[in-house]
Amino acid sequence: MAADYYWVGVVLAICAGANNNVGTLLQKQVVNVVAQDQHFGRSLLKSPRWMVGFLMQVVLGTILMMTAQTFVGPGIVPGLMASGLIVLAIGSVKILKESLKPSEYAGVFLLIAAMVMLSQSHLSIDLTTANFLAPDFILRTVIFTVIIFGLFGFIYLLQRRMAPRRGVLLALCSGLTIATSNYWVALLIGVFAHVMGGTFRPGELIIFVTAAIILVGANLLGLVTIQKAFTSGQASNLIPVQYVPMQLSPIFVYFLVFFYTPPSLLAAILGVGGIFAVIISGFLLGRRQAQIDRIKVPTPEILPDQEVMDVKS
């Protein structure tokens, strides 16, 4: 993969993370203003700012993320997209009328360091040359997916017996489903051109359909699970826990699924170090993200006409 394309992918991944959180902040600003409006849902839909934020997340964010994966693959994109937490932390100051704490400043600087390490690692996966129909690759993909869902099932059953740890365990479950989604979106991208162009082989069509089903199912399951986790614990503690499997899984994808070898030992150290720096910064910035997430934003399909929302921090 040409170096120029690699850096395009890095920039797009960082932009995707920033874009998603700018969209979130735009929506939350409007919610704060119209929260006591008798026609809450209608007021949101009439707000250009809210609609821009919504479209940034749903449309532009998806395009940026998928394009970034086209250039650098699924190995470092999740970590680079975490850069959006910087935007969220700084932007939330205006919405919440609070200043950042020393630990949050440390989280921001650590996240910047993580972005530098990940971008310099060059742990990219070339989806254009990968043979998705190779029997050994299919076997590794099946094993990876089965292990992820197996862990989900085990942890989900475990949380029923461990009520004090239920929130943390459910947050891990949610992170596992999103990690699965992040991997399968790469496979979807890998066969997309052939399927849309009508030049696909039967196996590629099967991958395309399977990926589409897993993407929808995994994301919905992850959303439901994290919401259930919030009923058993504080969001400020649970959101960083959700990040752990999302950030760790790309390491296994790079080394054990695609069977890639790092360009150098330094590249491996930078990549792994960057991922762990993202996880640590997630814990440092988790409270800030939780405060923003508590300002509820309904989706257009389920917007209530008359509802008073609780937006207290």
Look at the pTM and tell me if it is higher than 0.75.
yes
**Which of the two residues, 2 and 268, has the higher pLDDT score?**
268
Checking if the pLDDT of 117 tops 60, the result is: yes
Tell me the two tokens of residue 215. 């993407």
Q: Determine which of 216-225, 247-256, 286-295 has the lowest per-residue pLDDT on average.
A: 286-295
How far is 89 from 93, CA to CA, in rounded Å? Answer: 7
| pLDDT > 60? residue 298 | no
Residues 4-14: what's their mean pLDDT? 90
Q: Are 146 and 176 in contact (CB under 8 A)?
A: no
Q: What angle do CA 12, 13, 16 make, to 5 degrees?
A: 85
User: Using an 8 Å Cβ cutoff, are 90 and 105 in contact?
Assistant: no
Say which residues have a Cβ less than 8 Å from residue 268's Cβ, sequence separation at least 6.
121, 123, 262
- DSSP assignment of 39-94: THHHHHHH-HHHHHHHHIIIIIHHHHHHHHHHHH-TTTHHHHHTTHHHHHHHHHHH
Two tokens at 246? 């999302």
Q: Which amino acid would we find at residue 253?
A: V
Which of 90-99, 165-174, 233-242 shows the highest mean pLDDT?
A: 165-174
State the pLDDT at residue 21.
85
pLDDT for 290 = 77
Residue 180 scores a pLDDT above 60: yes
What's residue 38's pLDDT?
60
Mean per-residue pLDDT over the chain, rounded: 85
Top-confidence residue, 307 or 31:
31
C-alpha to C-alpha distance for 104 and 240, rounded to whole angstroms: 13
Arithmetic mean of pLDDT, 149-153 = 95
Query: What single DSSP character describes residue 165?
Result: G
Q: Write the single-letter amino acid at 127.
A: L
Task: Give the residue with greater pLDDT, 98 vs 129.
Answer: 129
Q: Tokens representing 114?
A: 């993580």
Residue 309's pLDDT band (boundaries 50, 70, 90)?
Answer: very low
Decide which of 154 and 226 is more confident. Answer: 154
Provide the 3-class DSSP secondary structure of residue 128: coil
Instruction: Give the mean model confidence (pLDDT) for residues 66-87.
Output: 90
Q: Of 275, 180, 258, 263, which is closest to residue 221 (Cα–Cα)?
A: 180
How confident is the model over 164-189, as a mean pLDDT?
A: 93
Q: Hey, is 216 helix, strand or coil? A: helix
Q: Does 183 have pLDDT greater than 60?
A: yes
The DSSP element (H or E) to which 141 belongs, if any, is helix 135-161
The share of the chain scoring above pLDDT 70, in percent, equals: 88
Phi first, then psi: what are they for 233, rounded to 5°? Answer: -170, 170
> In the chain, what is the greatest distance between 2 CA atoms, to the nearest angstrom?
60
Cα–Cα distance between 231 and 188 in angstroms, integer?
34
Which pLDDT belongs to residue 296?
A: 59
Q: Which two tokens stand for residue 266?
A: 């330094």
pLDDT of 44 higher than 60 = yes
Phi-psi category of residue 122: left, alpha or beta, with phi > 0 → left and psi -120 to 50 → alpha? left
* Angstrom distance (rounded) from CA 218 to CA 179: 9
Whole-angstrom Cα distance, residue 311 to residue 177? Answer: 28
Structure tokens at 148: 């992820």
Give the residue-averaged pLDDT of 194-206.
Answer: 88
Helix (H, G, I), strand (E, B) or coil at 231: coil
